[in-house]
Amino acid sequence: MSLKVGVYGGSGYAGAELVRLLGGHPKVGGLAVASRGYAGRRIGEVFPQISSEGSFVGPEEIEASGLDVAFVAYGHGESAETVAALLEAGVGLVVDLSADFRLPEVGMYEEWYGGHPAPGLLAEAHYGLPEVFGPAQGRIVANPGCYPTAAVLALAPVVRRMGGGIESIVINALSGVSGAGARPSVKTHFVSANESANAYGAPLHRHTPEIETMLRRVGESPAVTFVPHLIPISRGELETIVVDLEELPAAEDVLGWYAEDYEDWAFVEAREEYPHISHVANTNRCRLSAAVDGRAGKLLLFSAVDNLLKGASGAAVQNMNLALGYPEDLGLEHLK
């Protein structure tokens, strides 16, 4: 089967990665890429790193009824209307990279993001972290956020086995500047970000309810303290997670849980060596490790991902593969 695929929001960092990955996917036979700002310009002109003879078009120029799959890479509050319109046009699978379908309850979404443009579709969305929640079912895949991806992959095996004994979880996360999106701001300007680091969004970052909600689907889990930091690199993400437990497991046990839970999945691996961002940059891999601070009585978990790949576009293609019955690594083999 040759898929006809549309990308809406193809000019952002995640969108550009989608275009690059889908352009080389063996099942994609036609690719339409929408961008309001770059409509009419060649993709290879805007992104010279992408080998493409195609051009950006306006969203209205894509014949949605002819698409098999659509990826929506708009911001929160903007994606949901496009997702609804695509489903109305008959698109069989929509993968949404925004936060619009990640939270299952309208009230929860409105508390953290404001009014939801398509609340009636929330119940249809499958949270797209397949290593924890299985392959996507239905028409809508809610692609996870990059921070929740790293956090939930690290914590889910622990919560599954020791959830009732977890007293607190603190997540300290470091992310490259591309995580803030392609639209420039004072915070992401070179002069502001270079040779510096800063915490932001604390204590109530919008990814907090996403992390808590998904952990509670796995087992009993407390409220999470989540503190993200911006660091002066282009891409990549590292989380150090401190878990306070009534009874500490051995680090070897946690590594064994990772091996047991993720052995059949292509893109999650655990090692004794603590992960570096450089270990996962430009891959679709999540690398995990664990240690025990016996003196302080804490379990330490380490998780690293590329925020634009396993934290966004690579995971989106992985979700498409699984939803359509293809191998999860189809078109992503080079990113292991």
Catalytic sites, residue numbers? 146
Residues ≥6 apart with Cβ < 8 Å to 155? 169, 215, 221, 241, 243, 301
CA dist 158 and 168 (Å) reads 13
CA distance 306 to 222: 27
Backbone angles phi, psi at 288, to 5 degrees: -120, 155
Inter-residue contact 140 to 83 (CB < 8 Å): yes
Strand stretches in the chain, DSSP E? 3-8, 28-34, 69-72, 93-96, 125-127, 140-142, 166-175, 198-199, 224-230, 237-245, 268-270, 286-293, 298-305
What are the angstrom distances between the C-alpha of 254 and each of 30, 224, 242, 244, 294? 44, 20, 14, 14, 15
Separation in Å, CA 51 to CA 46, 54, 72:
11, 9, 21
Residue 171: CA count within 13 A, CB half-sphere: 32
Q: What is the CA radius of gyration of the chain?
A: 19
Buried/exposed code over 242-281 (b: 16+ C-beta within 10 A; e: otherwise):
bbbbeebbebeebbebbeebbeebbbbbbeeebbebebbb
Which segments of 260-309 are extended strands (E)? 268-270, 286-293, 298-305
Angstrom CA distances, 174 to 79, 200, 227, 252, 258, stand at 26, 10, 9, 25, 22
